[in-house]
Structure 1
């Protein structure tokens, strides 16, 4: 699996989100930006992203996944 595959999976399941992936093989890092995260706890945000990739995590295609989530406003403030 490639980082671009992870990006496409998440973006197809979380409407309106933009994914910035990194990594290769079975170890990935994703930054997901979307309005869907507004008002959610950190755990709920992580769960939303994990749900998109659950099948790939369960079958071992993805072994390690680091997730960062932001609303568009939070992301914009990080960009300076």
Structure 2
């Protein structure tokens, strides 16, 4: 099972009403086809109610901890919302300084 699929499976423990897991590895240095190292997560869940942003991130890290180890996920951008905050779109990711040049 791919790291992306494993991450989706783990994040589903948070009972999201919306979940996007985007593999952004191709925009980073050292990329090769099939590489899975950099991900962006957009997650909307009632489980984040009453939590500060850092606590929401900690909750995501807790369910994904097995995947955040050497040789697996190197970077994880997290956009965590409760349903009333969700506007249907997360911010774009910045370009990596070491991204492959076209």
- Output the TM-score relative to the length of structure 1: 0.81
Structure whose CA Rg is larger: 2
More helix by share: 1
Shift of 1:60: 3.2
Any stretches of 5+ residues in structure 2 without a counterpart?
A: 26-35, 90-102
- Output the TM-score relative to the length of structure 2: 0.66
Aligned to 1:7: 8
- Runs of 4+ deviating beyond 4 Å: none
**Structure 2 counterpart SS, 1:73:** coil
Match of 2:58 among 47, 50, 58: 47
Instruction: Give the whole-Å Cα distance in 2 for the aligned partners of 1:35 and 1:45.
Output: 11
More strand by share: 1
How many residue pairs get matched? Answer: 76
Any stretches of 5+ residues in structure 1 without a counterpart?
A: none
2:35 is the alignment partner of 1:22: no
Match of 2:78 among 67, 70, 73: 67
